[in-house]
Amino acid sequence: MWVAEDWTRRGGRYVWHGGYWAAPPRPGAFFVPGHWQNTRRGSVWIPGHWR
């Protein structure tokens, strides 16, 4: 499965991480792309993850 480009936190800041091919960790798993989520404290970046 192709995991699209994404921002990732590294060393206290966000850096661009290129896309890559990956095998799902278990049958039926799918990748949720990273996205911004609005909270009471402002917008927060939610990294991509397997679900």
Which residues are CB-contacts of 21 (< 8 A; sequence separation ≥ 6)?
1, 2, 3
Contact 22, 6 (CB under 8 A): no
pLDDT digits 0-9 by tens, 21-49:
999 999 999 999 989 999 999 999 898 89
pLDDT at position 24: 96
Nearest to 3 by CA among 48, 36, 44: 48
pLDDT of residue 50: 95
Q: What pTM, to 2 d.p., does this model score?
A: 0.67
The structure tokens listed for 11 are 């060393």
